[in-house]
Structure formats: structure tokens, C-alpha cells
């Protein structure tokens, strides 16, 4: 089954064994439409995620959900799926809930009669989260090969990490905790204790993205689609 994505996220279907698109008539779905532009609402569908393995299809011609007549003899059309070529719209990324927080503090004491420069070790745990939502992807039951570079909030805006994160699942939040350690030198007067506070900025970001989806069907056909629906990355760091 080939899936065609409209710019607004609506979808159309065409069996690989036919040059015809799915069409509702009157309340059955037939593969008999020659409409290549998607102007006929009876050929347009909208997907709703039920769970990680199930979607519901709403036909826009009658605003009714589709129902399977029988399970007998049916097999899933997608053998494997590869997700790749992520393109992030960092220029229009939204950064919000920014706040400065205390992440570590430590003290240095100079018990001598002369001023000294002392090392202060600061340790903290850096926590980041990542969630990818692809609102109009179908075939949720297909096996997915999925690795991606991760956006993050920097001093100048939102940038893309050079490292790849693997094992991503749509809608699942990945949490990464990294133990960090820095050494800071401070000038301490004689017979004085100095406390060093490490403050960092923490926030959230939303970044729209598009990606390429390659499906290998059971009959050997390979279908490649650029998915440009309302796909959103949400992260914290």
C-alpha cells in the first residue's frame, strides 16, 4: 500500500497492485479513483492514533471512521520501515519556560595567613529529554530503523547536536542524565572561606521537522515519501 501525504496532513491510499486510489462510495471503500490531485474528499482520509500499534481512519467524504469487514487472509503490507533525513526548522523554533537554576555549590577555605588561589570542584547532573511526534505517519506496526541528531538550546538559539541518538520511538520521551564535573579557581583571602555557586539556564524548545520514510513492502516494492505533516520535536536541557 502506498501512502500519499497532502500538505495539510490528510492522506490518500493506492494499492501497489492498482493505479487507482481509495474512494468512498457510498459507504464502502473501493480502489477505483483516478483523482491524482486529491480534490475529491471521498479519496481523503485522516489518521488518528489509537495506540502504538493501531490507527483509526476517518474518511473526509462522510466524516465516518472506517471499519474492517474481516481479518481473514490479511497481512500487514509493510515489511520494514526506515526513517531518516531529518530536517529541522531551527529558525522558527520556540524556546520557552527558561529559568536560571542552581545546579552545584562548593566551598574553599584558606586557613593560612596569606591569600591563595584554590581549586573548587563542582559536580552536577545534566538532564535532558527528547520527544519526537510525527502526527501523520501511518503503518505504526511496521518495524522502524530510526536514528537522529538532537536539537538543543544554546546561547544563541536552537542548534543541532553532532551526535546521533538511536532507538527512537514516536511519542516516547527519552531522558538522558550525564554527570558533569568542573574545576574552578578562586582567589581566597587569608583565614577566609569562599563559596562558589554554579548557575545554569534550563528551558524547553519545540522544533518542527520533516523527514523521509522508506517502506519496503512484502512484494519487494520500495516506497519513499517525504513526510511534511505537523511533526514536532520537544526537548529540555
pLDDT tens per residue, range 134-143: 865 554 444 5
**Domain 1-74 falls under CATH 2.80.10.50:** yes
69 Cβ contact partners less than 8 Å away, ≥ 6 residues apart: none
For the stretch 55-107, pLDDT in tens is 888 889 888 888 876 555 455 567 788 889 999 999 999 999 999 999 999 99
**Grid coordinates belonging to 60:** 473526509
Cell numbers 529541522: residue: 88
For the stretch 123-157, pLDDT in tens is 999 999 999 988 655 544 445 657 899 999 998 99
Spans of all domains in the chain:
1-74, 90-206
Highest mean predicted confidence (pLDDT) among 47-51, 53-57, 189-193, 230-234? 189-193
If you count them, how many residues does the chain have? Answer: 237
Residue 237 to residue 25: CA distance in whole angstroms: 51
Residue 78 to residue 3: CA distance in whole angstroms: 11
Cell numbers 497492485: residue: 17
Residue 12 to residue 10: CA distance in whole angstroms: 7
**Grid coordinates belonging to 36:** 491524482
In three-state secondary structure terms, 91 is: helix
Amino acid at each position: 500500500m502506498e501512502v500519499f501525504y497532502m500538505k495539510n496532513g490528510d492522506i490518500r491510499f493506492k494499492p501497489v497492485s492498482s493505479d487507482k486510489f481509495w474512494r468512498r462510495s457510498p459507504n464502502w471503500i473501493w480502489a477505483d479513483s483516478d483523482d491524482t490531485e486529491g480534490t475529491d474528499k471521498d479519496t481523503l482520509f485522516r489518521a488518528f492514533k489509537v495506540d502504538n500499534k493501531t490507527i483509526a481512519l476517518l474518511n473526509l467524504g462522510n466524516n465516518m471512521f472506517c471499519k474492517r469487514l474481516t481479518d481473514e487472509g490479511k497481512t500487514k503490507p509493510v515489511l520494514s520501515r526506515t526513517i531518516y533525513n531529518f530536517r529541522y526548522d531551527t529558525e522558527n523554533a520556540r524556546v520557552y519556560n527558561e529559568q536560571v537554576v542552581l545546579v552545584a555549590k562548593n566551598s574553599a577555605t584558606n586557613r593560612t595567613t596569606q591569600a591563595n588561589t584554590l581549586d573548587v570542584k563542582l559536580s552536577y547532573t545534566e538532564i535532558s529529554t527528547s520527544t519526537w511526534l510525527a502526527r501523520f505517519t501511518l503503518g505504526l506496526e511496521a518495524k522502524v530503523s530510526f536514528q537522529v541528531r538532537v536539537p538543543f538550546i544554546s546561547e544563541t538559539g536552537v542548534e543541532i547536536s553532532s551526535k546521533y541518538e538511536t532507538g527512537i520511538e514516536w511519542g516516547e520521551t527519552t531522558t538522558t542524565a550525564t554527570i558533569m564535573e568542573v574545576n574552578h579557581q578562586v582567589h581566597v583571602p587569608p583565614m577566609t572561606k569562599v563559596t562558589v555557586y554554579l548557575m545554569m539556564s534550563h528551558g524547553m524548545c519545540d522544533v518542527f521537522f520533516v523527514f523521509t520514510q522508506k517502506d519496503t513492502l512484502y512484494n519487494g516494492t520500495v516506497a519513499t515519501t517525504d513526510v511534511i505533516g505537523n511533526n514536532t520535536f520537544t526537548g529540555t536541557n
